Structure 1
């Protein structure tokens, strides 16, 4: 048995993925609860600054090294810019929308990833994935209901976050060819801390954007907790993809919709309507099928690469 095969632990991978998704969703709930006290830029700062606590611990204790060498610094900058933009929009959407709405709309990332992979990665997308993309956009339309008279323009924010998320994932695909996962996460976290500081002077323009000191120990504890949860979930996510195939692990990302509904209901008394549930189900179905097709095509490419070329005879 190969070492790669022996390293795969599907049950552990599924459990870790669900743990990561639950922690991320619970973190989103905390962000929503404190979004009235702190501007979004400050929340992005706290999320990434305190994420270094679990991240550095993992690198020192588990991996027993901190590998920061890279030959592609500008690729890390681009990945950081896209990732921070996505995070900012996601966090802002939690403030402006019901949590379940923001999470459901934010799950459209794989749809945009498929669309953008054509011009940016040169991928060939067949009719099956294009059909899934169209179906996914139908689900988004069901959730947002434009032209119905109850459309909330804030619904565009998590959709914009999904576009930035897709661009970040494309950059990660390129970086992962040469960079270890923890190195990518470290540089993104560092970039996010520094980039969020750009919002610090905005308080002079709009008092609503002014950074605020925590009013008490509870608020400080929540800011620290947001970062620790984000860093811990990222580690669990990384290990999950090491322990199981993408086709097995990735679909469980959509458990965020279930967790978001539950947290929104119990903490914020949000009751999702039939349009949100129906549209969310369509988006989830589309995303899972896209993941399935990408896995099938990747398997076919690997199989084709292992078939030796026929000798040329004259």
Structure 2
């Protein structure tokens, strides 16, 4: 039996989020010794290598690079770049739990923007699933009272831009493949990061505070032990980013958005494996809400398709 387009999009979203989670862990690991723009440049070069290999092996080959919508690509590249900059800048100044809690507003934003700009219909039951997942995030992360501060606003801006970039991918999906969309994003990262390196890569703008060092510390040649981490972040962005892009360009944004909540249980997993932290009982309640919301949306989509096939 052929797999439904909706289920395929959901699987791409889940798989892409699983793979993409490696990016945050890798950048957090590297942020103590490297400038952000150096990390982003190496990450983009690794991701671009993977994308070019995939494009070269595809039936259309490098024909994927041809586009009739350069303006839309430029807009999406700018959105994604600013989203990354604001997220990692805010993350440097916020506790991880607060930053992630704010960032996971994006699925709610995606649902709202998909109604306003794409005309997608989101029923009350799917709304309930999204809200339940958001409640799970709040319960699991329990953001502190000081969350509304400038750094948190940067993360909130990142969440809105992230949602906007995914909706733009949905809008462009009728003419642009996931490979095309991913190629131009990574090309933008390479150009901007390389330009930043040529301008401030000598460290002349670096300051003693944590944020100033992260943004402007001088570039260094990575030791051999750090290259696997750079490789991991580049491949996670190349593979995971392409999968999530494919999900949003082929499937309703309001359906895909709740499945990005699988990133929250992944945060628990990486916390245990890398940092030795383990969730308490309250956190497990949040995980149950998040997973329950995703499973409910899958069940509702299955029922809806069966009813449609029977009609």
TM-score higher than 0.5: yes
Q: Are 1:172 and 2:179 counterparts? A: no
Q: Deviations over 1:161-216 (max 9, x none)?
A: 22111110121111112212211111111122223345443554334222412342
Q: Are 1:213 and 2:212 counterparts? A: no
Separation in structure 2 between the aligned mates of residue 58 and residue 221 of structure 1, nearest angstrom: 21
Among candidates 184, 191, 194, match of residue 194 of structure 1? 191
Compared CA separation, residues 85 and 274, structure 1 to 2 (3 A)? farther
Q: Are 1:26 and 2:22 counterparts? A: yes
Q: Are 1:162 and 2:191 counterparts? A: no
Aligned length, in residue pairs: 296
Separation in structure 2 between the aligned mates of residue 296 and residue 11 of structure 1, nearest angstrom: 16
Compared CA separation, residues 134 and 48, structure 1 to 2 (3 A)? same
Compared CA separation, residues 292 and 156, structure 1 to 2 (3 A)? farther
Contact persistence 2:137–2:290 (CA under 8 A): yes
> Which moved further from structure 2: 284-293 or 48-57?
284-293
Q: Deviations over 1:286-313 (max 9, x none)?
A: 677678889999x7xx99xxx9xxxxxx
Q: Are 1:65 and 2:61 counterparts? A: yes
Q: Are 1:109 and 2:106 counterparts? A: yes
Separation in structure 1 between the aligned mates of residue 303 and residue 71 of structure 2, nearest angstrom: 32
Contact persistence 2:27–2:39 (CA under 8 A): yes
Equivalent in the alignment of 1:258: 265
Compared CA separation, residues 113 and 284, structure 1 to 2 (3 A)? farther
Q: Are 1:53 and 2:60 counterparts? A: no
User: What's the RMSD between the two structures over aligned residues?
Assistant: 4.4
Task: Name the TM-score, length of structure 1 as normaliser.
Answer: 0.72
Question: SS at 1:51's partner residue?
Answer: helix
Q: How does 1:68-107 map to 2 (within 5 A)?
A: 68-92=65-89, 94-97=91-94, 102-107=99-104
Separation in structure 1 between the aligned mates of residue 225 and residue 170 of structure 2, nearest angstrom: 39
Unaligned runs of 5+ in 1: 308-314
Higher radius of gyration, 1 or 2: 1
Contact persistence 2:136–2:288 (CA under 8 A): yes
Q: Deviations over 1:228-261 (max 9, x none)?
A: 2321333455677899999997755333222211
